[in-house]
Amino acid sequence: MSPLRLCMAVCTVALLLPAVTAKYAALDWWQTSIIYQIYPRSFKDVNGDGIGDLKVSQLSCFGGSAWEWNDKRQQYYYHAFAIQQPDLNYRFQAVVDEMKNVLRYWVEKGVDGFRMDAVPFIFEADHFEDEPIADNHADFEPSDHDFLNHTLTVDQPETFDMIYQFRELLDSYKLLDGYTRLIMTECYSPLEKMMKYFGNETKNGAHFPFNFLPIERLSRQSNARDFAGAILTWETLKPAGKWGNWVIGNHDQKRAASRFDAEFIDALHMITLLLPGTAITYNGDELGMEDSFIRWDQTVDPQAINVGPKRYQSFSRDFARSPFHWDASPNAGFTTNLYSWLPVNPNYWYKNLATERNQMGPDGRPAGHQCKCSRSWVWRIHLSDGTRRETPQAINVGPKRYQSFSRDFARSPFHWDASPNAGCHIVVMNIGSEIEYADILTIRPTLPEQLVVYAASANSMHEPGHTVNTDKIMLKPKEALTLSTVELGIVDRHIKVGDAFDPKTMMGGSRNYRLGGIVNGAAKKEEKGEDKTDKAEEKGEKKLLSRGRYAWEDDDWDDDDEKEEDNEVY
């Protein structure tokens, strides 16, 4: 099997809203969708054998020799991953032609796009010299992949050109029917090399390489400045005109709820769903699924098995691959078999999709106090047929600037072309472990005195439709709120704020949203408060929000006067 693995892009199809301006209507389907990544082996077992039914190979650099003897051919063959996955020789034109035929086959079957895995390993240098020993080799065993510096087997110049050829092939179908076939590439490469997968001056490459900065740079030890730095770094290095994306978890990393905190998962979703670009969600993250403990005798990941029982926990990816939690039935509804290929997390009986659905009443409204522990707004967006960008002003065409005002407080404004009533969305979150009070007026005095809660984390006392005082917003540890200056006709399909609406729209297949006026005369306050804002910034009042909190704004303000030293790249 080739190191290039192709699979269908499993997407939530987005419905463009009637109120979206022409600029937003021009966005392609993959720009307004959420990419929902399933791990087929753990997603759903249909035939009852305990294993998910779409067969895929386990991918990683598993340690040990990359060369294997084949008795039949009386030759060694190279495999960057498992013994069962020999690398194909892409320097042989017949191989390239056949792989292009594979793409054609699936496109003609109707797939929307491809997740191309482990793409840096497509080519190796053609001289077969030994790779140099890594500078930090003392931290690893000689058989570990990271013991060597892989300059000859990863990200070779020919690799980028091959992705460009694949893009040219898929774009040829768009010339015929006008429909885009998406290419997403997986690579844990240095950023300057990762950006080459987008394309060059003359050729298009992937629609986007996965942005793993939220995985690689952020953890439960991160503060607000770290979050702002990761966002700013990607947006700064991304080639002009290219589309962004945000990945907080996948099948090769510990789950987001375990890397951070289970209570913080809602805040992470608010970040990825409102930043400009496509949100990539690993199945189960929308439910707050956590890593499962896997004993050594239960381990199946080749990467973990190869390092032995003493070190397997540091290398295993099985913890994040436990079966999806469908309901509270045995084995979380994943399989009817007595055993599943990996143990199900013991918390499945209350943290599952059916529980989330049952906490919503028949009219689409929260069903009583139990909804306080519900993440219904998260799974609704991911698993329904609606778009994550429920209002036109949340459809960002690109950020203007990201800033961190102090070590623990940051914000990032966005600019969009929308109606004069567009207003803004603001996300505030408490990263710390103590109750905090946010006074957003200290950083933007032109805001209205009250803001509407658009979405709230499961641990919040607020619900969509509530109003909060802009100068004193209490945030519990790990709590997150998305606040809006715009009155929403319908928020998240089940909260009404303002105009009358047809209840059928809450239960039907499409999402229809109405926009009201700016709350509390925000337009006038903005006009009158312009000088006040500048004075506040000159006095250094950017750091007034206390430690442990992160915020950003999604707005149409002009921040050209703000200081350049705030725009650090991390």
Mean per-residue pLDDT pooled into runs of 10, the chain (570 residues)? 33 23 62 84 86 49 72 82 83 95 95 92 82 82 77 86 98 96 94 96 97 94 86 92 94 95 90 87 93 97 93 95 96 95 96 83 45 50 44 38 44 38 73 83 84 88 90 89 68 30 30 24 34 41 31 36 35
Query: Which SS3 state, helix, strand or coil, does residue 161 take?
Result: helix
Residue 144 lies in a domain: no
Set 45, 112, 144, 186: catalytic member: 186
For residues 420 and 318, membership in a common domain is answered with: no
- Cα–Cα distance, 416 to 394 (Å, whole number): 9
Selecting among 45, 117, 286, 436, the annotated active-site residue is 117
Report if residue 132 sits inside a domain: no
Q: Is the pTM of this model over 0.85?
A: no
Q: Judge whether 448 and 525 are in contact, CB under 8 Å.
A: yes
Residue 463 annotated among the catalytic residues of the structure = no
Do residues 509 and 533 both lie within one domain?
yes
Instruction: Please report, for the domain that includes residue 239, its CATH number.
Output: 3.20.20.80
Residue type for position 2 = S
CA distances to 69, 457, 479, 541 from 377, in Å:
53, 9, 15, 34
Task: Show the tokens assigned to 286.
Answer: 């929308």
Query: In terms of domains, do 234 and 369 share one?
Result: yes
Asked if 262 and 288 sit in the same domain, the reply is yes
Position 174 in a domain: yes
Do 215 and 357 share a domain, yes or no? yes
Give the C-alpha separation, 389 to 20, whole Å.
10
CA atoms within 13 A on the CB side of 427: 29
User: Across-strand partners of 480?
Assistant: 429
Count, in order, helices (H) and strands (E) of the chain: 16, 22
Task: Judge if 210 and 329 occupy the same domain.
Answer: yes
CA distance 407 to 547: 7
**Does a structural domain hold residue 76?**
no
Q: For residue 341, is it within any domain?
A: yes
Please report the sign of the dihedral spanned by the C-alpha atoms of residue 451, residue 452, residue 455, residue 458: positive
Cβ atoms 104, 169 nearer than 8 A: yes
Do 359 and 417 sit in the same domain of this protein?
no
Q: How would you write 23-39 as a 3-class SS string?
A: HHHCCCHHHCCEEEECC
Residue pair 133/202 in contact by the 8 Å Cβ criterion: no
* H/E element, 200: none
Rounded to whole angstroms, the Cα distance separating 286 from 140 reads 35
Our CA angle for 265, 268, 274, nearest 5°, is 140
- CA dist 524 and 555 (Å) reads 16
Domain range for 279 is 11-60+92-122+159-383
Q: What is the CATH number of the domain that holds 495?
A: 2.60.40.1180
pLDDT of the residue at 237: 94
Structure tokens at 256: 């987001």
* Whether 201 is catalytic: no
Residue 421 domain-assigned (yes or no) = yes
Crossing angle of helices 376-383/265-274, nearest 10°?
40
| Confidence (pLDDT) at 380 | 53
At residue 304, the 3 state secondary structure works out as helix
Please indicate, yes or no, whether residues 239 and 272 belong to a single structural domain of this protein.
yes
Do 367 and 428 sit in the same domain of this protein?
A: no
Domain count along the chain: 2
Q: Is 84 part of a structural domain of the chain?
A: no
CA separation for the pair 245, 206 (Å, rounded): 12
Name the domain boundary from 346, 361, 383: 383
Compute the distance between CA of residue 376 and CA of residue 324 in angstroms, rounded to an integer. Answer: 17
Q: Tell me: do 365 and 404 sit in the same domain.
A: no
Q: Which two tokens stand for residue 64?
A: 């040990």
Final residue of a structural domain among 324, 354, 383? 383
Choose the final residue of a domain: 350, 383, 416. 383
**pLDDT (0 to 100) of residue 419:** 40
Residue 446 placed within a domain: yes
Q: Are residues 267 and 404 in the same domain?
A: no
**403 and 379 in a common domain:** no
Report how far Cα 441 is from the mean position of its chain's Cα atoms.
30
